Amino acid sequence: MAEDREMALTAMETGQTGKVVQIQGGRGMIGRLEVLGIRIGRELRKVSSQFMRGPVVLEVGNTQVAVGFGMAGKILVEVTE
Amino acid sequence: MRILLMGNPNVGKSVVFSRLTGVNVIASNYPGTPVEFAKGSMRVGAEKAELVDVPGTYRLEPTSRAEEVAVDMLKEGDVVVNVVDATNLERNLYLTLELLQRKIPMVVALNLWDETKHTGIKINAEELEEILGVPVIPTTAVTGEGIMTLVSRLPEARKGSHEAEDEDLWHRIGEIVGRVQKLTHRHHTLLERFGDASVRPGTGIPIALLVLYLMFKVIRFIGEGLIGYVFEPLFETLWKPLMTKVSLLLGSSGFLHDVLIGKLVEGDIDFVESLGLLTTGLFVPIGMVLPYVFAFYLILGFLEDSGYLPRLAVLVDNIMHRLGLHGLAIIPMLLGIGCNVPGALATRVLETKRERFIAATLMAIAVPCMAQLAMIVGLIGKTGAKGLGLVFGTLFVVWVVLGVLLNRLVKGESPEIFVEIPSYRIPYWNASAKKLWMRIRSFITEAVPFVLVGVFAVNILYALGIIEFVGKIAAPVITGMLGLPKEAVGALIIGFLRKDVAIGMLAPLGLSLSQLVVASVVLAMYFPCVATFAVMAKELGAKDMLKSAGIMVLSALLVGSLLNLIL
């Protein structure tokens, strides 16, 4: 069951929350995401997405971050709600 | 003593800075970089200290130029005031712990303290102080709460007691946060809901259109109001009689008269057309341009300080991708409307050389600065909206078409947007006013002398017959391709110095509306003014600047000729 609920940030619905399970990127990308609070195990909420592969806005803690579509596709989450 | 104000971006650092410093704030560039920071002075006890507003950084392993500067500056500071966003404690503590590892005397300002209340966060500041081993002072810089305590406890700054290796920094932060912070359930505030609505396409795009529409309405209202009710009456009733006397004293003609007062139009001084140092040289920058510059920076400052711009960047990201850029490139474009110089500097928010080249080129070609805009509105606006629509419509089409072309032709990669979206905040008037003042001051000290040089150069070039000479040589292009009288070449020459003076020089030529449109568009596109050129050359390097300039000249000629054929 858990596997069904695991998906990329881009596939999530607006308003859904989930837990970060994997970041498919190098040290640089992981480091940049980390300091904004996006780390494995953290809860996040998808705030919005744009038409035609636009950026995804997500919320972790009290921080909102805009992440480009490609990068968002490399952040895998397990949807919780 | 030098005190460094350090912290993540968007934690209200500038507001703390403006609370701690007096009026003598200067913006300067970090040596050898385009990174700008503010510096001011304050008193600590009996001692005078220098306070530096270090560019915001998330950590001490720099990923951008601004962060490199922040790390470099750390070596030159005696004390650090680490401004921390209390509503994002965990994330902010990363930098705090890294700073503690550097063993520099420090105090922590737990800022945005008032916001913790309605976000359901409870932080035990005393316990945090005990754990970190440095003073921790809750502050709400916007209202001034805690600032006095911060100042009085500055002498207590110390090196702290924290020892943690890099590897377990996040683990350590988790422990600290677990001990000092308690979260309670909370409801989303109205402002937060509005925040979400402004990044969702369905609601965000209408909001963005409304914001931009209001922005230009208000700028025009303030600009026109100031000109019509303040500056024009001042010049006409106070300055003109004085200048008329000077004119008579100088014998109403002759070289000195022409340089200082300019040519009389029907026996009278005309502040736009006379082209004298004391008439046009002062009236154009102060009477026509300054009101719009003021209005623009007032509104832009509000958009910046309220936190709207990153949201706009998210919404336009798609469009910008077609131009080989990403959403944040909207910031240099918007700043370019104020003045192309800060616009060119702001291209550094973009990561790669390719993006900076495309953004700077597009801005220099298709984004007219406020000085030029004000003059175009002054000159063409009189004949109604059609001319203005043609000029700005053409420039917009050029911006899009050229962007799409550059995206195909320029090699290299354009990374994606990745940016924090700060929560909406009501700007703190004092900090906004200081920023506005710094911008106005730099306009007055940098633009006004250039206008005077420009006006002086016009006179010399006319007197030496150079403009007439170049006019004859360039006639095939100017007259043949663009359909302008050969006298218009004077404006094109002066446009290198100042575009506002150049547009003003079109006034006495008696051009038709179509000719005015062609001339305005060509003047906007063909080359940046010398100040922008210098900054662009420095930012892009000589080779890319040459390429960029080539694109400008070619596209200006092409678009100008096309317009001349169509209109």
What pLDDT digit, counting tens, does each position of B36-83 carry? 788 888 888 788 899 999 988 998 888 777 788 888 899 889 999 999
pLDDT of residue B434: 83
d(CA B328, nearest CA chain A) in Å: 11
Last residue in a domain, options B152, B186, B220: B186
Of A31, A34, A47, the CB nearest to B199: A47
Of B87, B94, B199, the CB nearest to A62: B87
- Asked if B63 lies within 8 A of A32 by C-beta distance, the reply is yes
B193 falls within a domain: no
Contact B181, B121 (CB under 8 A): yes
Q: Is B504 helix (H, G, I), strand (E, B) or coil?
A: helix
pLDDT of residue B535: 83
Of all residues in chain B, the percent with pLDDT exceeding 90 is 47
pLDDT of residue A81: 74
Q: B313 or B191, which is more confident?
A: B313
Is the pLDDT confidence value at B257 over 50? yes
Q: B108 or B254, which is more confident?
A: B108
Q: How many residues does chain A have?
A: 81
Q: Is B51 helix (H, G, I), strand (E, B) or coil?
A: strand
What is the end-to-end Cα distance of chain A in Å, rounded?
14
Q: Is B412 helix (H, G, I), strand (E, B) or coil?
A: coil
Residue the block writes with tokens 């025009």: B220
Structure tokens at B231: 């500056």
What pLDDT digit, counting tens, does each position of B505-563 carry? 898 888 999 999 999 999 999 999 888 888 888 888 899 999 999 999 999 999 999 99
* Residue A7, φ and ψ in degrees, nearest 5: -155, 170
Q: What is the CATH number of the domain that holds B48?
A: 3.40.50.300
Which of B148, B142, B92, B149 minimizes the C-alpha distance to B121?
B92
- Asked if A62 lies within 8 A of B119 by C-beta distance, the reply is yes
Count of domains forming chain B:
2
> Which of A20, A47, A63, A65 is the best substitution to test chain B (most B C-beta atoms within 10 A)?
A63
Name, in order, each residue with C-beta under 8 angstroms of B342's C-beta and a sequence gap of 6 or more.
B335, B336
What pLDDT digit, counting tens, does each position of B474-484 carry? 888 888 899 99
Contact B141, B19 (CB under 8 A): yes
Pairs across A and B, CB distance < 8 A: 95
Name, in order, each residue with C-beta under 8 angstroms of B192's C-beta and a sequence gap of 6 or more.
B423, B424
What would the mean pLDDT of B17-33 be, rounded to a whole number?
Answer: 69
- Asked if A65 lies within 8 A of B415 by C-beta distance, the reply is no
B500 falls within a domain: yes
Across the strands, what pairs with B162? Answer: none
Task: Identify whether residues B336 and B403 lie together within a single domain.
Answer: yes
Q: Where does residue B45 rank: exposed (0-12), middle (13-18), buried (19+ CB within 10 A)?
A: exposed
Q: Is B102 helix (H, G, I), strand (E, B) or coil?
A: coil
Residue the block writes with tokens 């498919």: A24
Task: Identify whether residues B419 and B274 lie together within a single domain.
Answer: yes
What would the mean pLDDT of B87-108 be, rounded to a whole number?
Answer: 92
What pLDDT digit, counting tens, does each position of B302-330 carry? 998 888 999 999 999 999 999 999 999 99
What pLDDT digit, counting tens, does each position of A25-61 carry? 888 888 889 889 899 989 999 999 998 889 999 999 8
pLDDT band of residue B438 (cuts 50, 70, 90) is confident
Task: Identify whether residues B431 and B400 lie together within a single domain.
Answer: yes
Of A28, A52, A61, the CB nearest to B90: A61
A76 contacts chain B (CB < 8 A): no
pLDDT of residue B25: 64
CA angle B289, B293, B298 (to 5 degrees): 155
What would the mean pLDDT of B495-502 be, rounded to a whole number?
Answer: 88
d(CA A21, nearest CA chain B) in Å: 17
Task: Identify whether residues B258 and B118 lie together within a single domain.
Answer: no
What pLDDT digit, counting tens, does each position of B341-353 carry? 888 888 888 888 8
Task: Identify whether residues B148 and B37 lie together within a single domain.
Answer: yes
B96 contacts chain A (CB < 8 A): no
pLDDT of residue B349: 80
Task: Identify whether residues B332 and B427 lie together within a single domain.
Answer: yes
pLDDT of residue B26: 65
A77 contacts chain B (CB < 8 A): no
Instruction: List, in order of start, the domains of chain A with CATH numbers.
Output: 6-79 (2.30.30.90)
What would the mean pLDDT of B394-415 be, rounded to a whole number?
Answer: 93
Is the pLDDT confidence value at B29 over 80? no
Across the strands, what pairs with B85? Answer: B111
Query: How many angstroms separate the CA atoms of B551 and B360, rounded?
Result: 12
What pLDDT digit, counting tens, does each position of B260-279 carry? 998 888 889 988 888 899 99
B166 contacts chain A (CB < 8 A): no
The mean pLDDT value of chain B amounts to 89
Q: Which residues of chain B lie closer than 8 angstroms to A36, CB-CB? A: 58, 91, 420
- Asked if B416 lies within 8 A of A65 by C-beta distance, the reply is no
Task: Identify whether residues B335 and B427 lie together within a single domain.
Answer: yes
pLDDT band of residue B162 (cuts 50, 70, 90) is low
Buried/exposed B469-498: b ≥16 CB within 10 Å, e otherwise: ebbeebeebbeebbbbbbbbbbbbbbbbbb
pLDDT band of residue A1 (cuts 50, 70, 90) is very low
Is the pLDDT confidence value at B158 over 60? yes
B480 falls within a domain: yes
What would the mean pLDDT of B450-465 be, rounded to a whole number?
Answer: 87
Name, in order, each residue with C-beta under 8 angstroms of B45's C-beta and a sequence gap of 6 or more.
B155
pLDDT of residue B346: 84
Task: Identify whether residues B339 and B456 lie together within a single domain.
Answer: yes
Is the pLDDT confidence value at A3 over 60? no
Last residue in a domain, options B156, B186, B216: B186
**CB proximity under 8 Å: A 21-50 to B:** 28, 31-32, 34-37, 39, 47-48, 50
What would the mean pLDDT of B432-443 be, rounded to a whole number?
Answer: 86
Range of the domain at B208: 201-566
B63 contacts chain A (CB < 8 A): yes
What pLDDT digit, counting tens, does each position of B341-392 carry? 888 888 888 888 899 999 999 999 999 999 899 999 988 988 888 999 999 9
Question: For the residues of B514-560, what is the DSSP string, one character each?
Answer: HHHHHHHHHHHHS---HHHHHHHHHHH-HHHHHHHHHHHHHHHHHHH
pLDDT band of residue B24 (cuts 50, 70, 90) is low
Helix residue ranges per DSSP H, B255-384: 255-260, 280-282, 290-306, 309-322, 330-338, 340-346, 353-366, 370-380
Last residue in a domain, options B186, B215, B245: B186
ipTM value for the complex: 0.91
Query: Radius of gyration over alpha carbons of chain A, in Å?
Result: 11
Is the pLDDT confidence value at B397 over 50? yes
Of A62, A67, A70, the CB nearest to B88: A62
Task: Identify whether residues B414 and B460 lie together within a single domain.
Answer: yes
Task: Identify whether residues B165 and B207 lie together within a single domain.
Answer: no
Task: Identify whether residues B470 and B513 lie together within a single domain.
Answer: yes
- Asked if B196 lies within 8 A of A34 by C-beta distance, the reply is no
pLDDT of residue B124: 94
pLDDT band of residue B198 (cuts 50, 70, 90) is very high
